[in-house]
Amino acid sequence: MKLDLLTSLYVFMLAAFIGFEVIRRVSPLLHTPLMSLTNALDAIAVVGAIILAGEFHPHGALLAKILGTIAIVAATSNIVGGFLITDRMLRMFKASGPKKP
Amino acid sequence: MISTPAIEHIIEITYLIATALFILSLKWLSSPATARRGVFAGEIGMLLAVVGTLLHHGIVEYKWILIALVLGTIIGVPLGEVAMTAVPQRTALSHAFGALCVTLVGTAEFYLRAPDVPPFMMGVLSMEVILGSLTFTGSLMAAGKLQEVLPQRPITYKGQNFVNLGLLGVAIIVAGVLVAHPEKTQLFPLIVGIPLVFGVMMIIPIGGADMPTVISLLNSYAGLSAAAMGFVLESKLLIIAGALDGASGFILSVNMSKAMNRSFSNVLFGAFGQEQTAAAGAKEARAVRSATPDEAAGILAAANKVVIVPGYGMAVAQAQHKVRELYDALTKRGIDVKFGIHPVAGRMPGHMNVLLAEADIPYDKLLEMDEINGDFPQTDVALVIGANDVTNPAARTDHSSPIFGMPILDVDKARTVMVIKRSMAAGFAGIDNPLYYLDKTLMLFGDAKNFVGGIVRELGGGHE
């Protein structure tokens, strides 16, 4: 689905505003998990790498395959590692006693 | 067989759902109670998007994709299982991986499209690879410094800023030429290579205490480069994920800079460690009072309200579990124990919280600087463990101090201050800390883990 430049800029601007509003509310307590989670989400770049590595290219096919494959490895390790460690960290955060949920 | 346009619509819908889940994921992270749900939402979103992409009709060969996905998983699992003390370097490494992915895809896209690249496309493509490659080497350097493979101290030389800005300037000029003449493909390696060098040069003058800001900044760059990649690939999902990551890194960088009372440019171009060497010198030895674990235990046992202030020294000494035993021993005696966490304590945003949570200290006892500072005048004992500059009262009063104006934890307002420290050597910034010479301050010399363990034994607690 093709986007024109202006639509892309609109999408970027709106996402940046949402990002600021949502992330401002994250407690400083969780800033380390925040960073590892956004890192995992950012690795959605893997979709670009998958298309690059898998699509048919009339020329430059070898370059696309090699770079695309390495890019998938890098992004996938961020996805797997990022979600794993974020969840591990969050599991450790416990409130004291039942009085404060 | 479903028709191709139908599949393409299904893929777009998986992306739409993934986008919504990503935003919810960050929203749920706002509180520890819902945070794990946030991770789950992110995982589902990611899975949908990846599966959706694999259905893409244009994909003709799956072999390498699947090998890469498996290989990435094999690398990712150990990276998700590192010790909590290694989280800062793991985070820096993952910024490097993210940036590597973006740079490689950008490079391939250029060679596939050249010479037919419209100016705007060439502009964002240049931004993608410039930001991507400088983040790649910069993050590797940061990870190396954090892992102590590379020297932690800032390395500076004359004309450093000139060289660095010059490099970046040249890369931007080359990018400008490419925008005008995308057929000059021989120039493209320059906008990858020069930022790779710049990334290394940028981190060389950065010292350990500046890492929280630098990691946040690299996080922001990684996000922006991914968003630029979204522009190039015309993927809304990628633009949004990149913008969210960029916004997050930006907010954290601003927080960190504020907490150090410094500007971005000052962090990146200031080489903090260097300015201070002048300020530090020529200090004659002044008398301090010191105490043994036995005496410290006595004072703590007599207190009603204790605030513990942890710093990077606690992480280095791996003392968080002993601190937990101390917390238990004191709480059992009915003493109110809280933790005061400075935003830049440690090597990345939130570092101390994660270590203390790992040691099973309830998170509602971990208070931010602004929440705890009002409590110090009513506090009997402030126990500083491996923190230095963030407790330095000179930041409030001494206009000539290099850290003047930096918000600090007001431990000097507590009735008694105890500082666990290996020696009287100055902290990272090389600044003397007047806190140590106050009449109410007791210096507890020793390794944080052993000393806290000693106090716990005297209090009759501990698990030994």
Task: Using alpha carbons only, give the angle B421, B426, B428 rounded to the nearest 5 degrees.
Answer: 95
CB atoms within 10 A of CB B439: 5
Nearest residue on chain B to A51, alpha-carbon basis: B59
CA B114, CA A6: separation in Å to the nearest integer? 23
CA B175, CA B169: separation in Å to the nearest integer? 10
Closest Cβ opposite residue B245 in set A42, A54, A95: A42
Q: How far lies B390's CA from each of B97, B189, B288, B340, B429, in Å?
A: 32, 44, 19, 11, 11
Which tokens in the block code for residue B228? Answer: 């630029």
CA B22, CA B156: separation in Å to the nearest integer? 41
CA dihedral in degrees (B237, B242, B248, B252; nearest 10)?
170
Q: Tens digits of per-residue pLDDT, B404-463? A: 888 999 998 999 999 998 877 655 556 778 888 888 888 888 888 888 999 998 887 544
Closest Cβ opposite residue B104 in set A47, A70, A100: A70
Q: Tens digits of per-residue pLDDT, B234-266? A: 899 999 999 999 999 999 988 888 888 877 677
Nearest-Cα distance to chain A for B50, in Å, is: 6
- Is B6 at the interface with chain A, CB within 8 A? no
Contacts of B251 in chain A (CB under 8 A): 20, 23-24
Contacts of B123 in chain A (CB under 8 A): none
Q: Tens digits of per-residue pLDDT, B167-220? A: 989 999 999 999 999 888 889 999 999 999 999 998 888 877 788 888 999 999
Q: What does pTM read for this prediction?
A: 0.89
- B348, burial (CB in 10 Å: exposed 0-12, middle 13-18, buried 19+): buried
Closest Cβ opposite residue B68 in set A8, A53, A96: A53
Whether B79 and A45 lie within 8 Å, measured CB to CB: no
Q: Cα B59 vs. chain centroid, distance in angstroms?
A: 37
Residue B259 CB-half CA count within 13 A: 28
The answer to whether residue A101 scores a pLDDT higher than 70 is no
Per-residue confidence (pLDDT) for residue B277, from 0 to 100? 40
CB atoms within 10 A of CB B70: 12
Which tokens in the block code for residue B432? Answer: 């003397």
- Look at phi and psi of residue B336 and say left if phi exceeds 0, alpha if psi is from -120 to 50, else beta: beta
Nearest-Cα distance to chain A for B153, in Å, is: 23
- Least Cα distance to B49 among A46, A85, A73, A11 occurs for A46
Q: How far lies B247's CA from each of A20, B137, B242, B339, in Å?
A: 6, 21, 8, 29
Q: Which of B155-164, B271-280, B406-415 has the lowest mean pLDDT?
A: B271-280
Active site members of B: 389
What's the 3-state SS for B70-108? HHHHHHHHHHHCCCHHHHHHHHHHHHHHHHHHHHHHHHH
CB atoms within 10 A of CB B298: 14
Going by pLDDT thresholds of 50, 70 and 90, the confidence category of residue B131 is very high
DSSP letters, A2-31, are ---HHHHHHHHHHHHHHHHHHHHTS-GGGH
Tell me the one-letter amino acid at B459: L
Going by pLDDT thresholds of 50, 70 and 90, the confidence category of residue B272 is very low
- Least Cα distance to B346 among B251, B212, B194, B185 occurs for B212
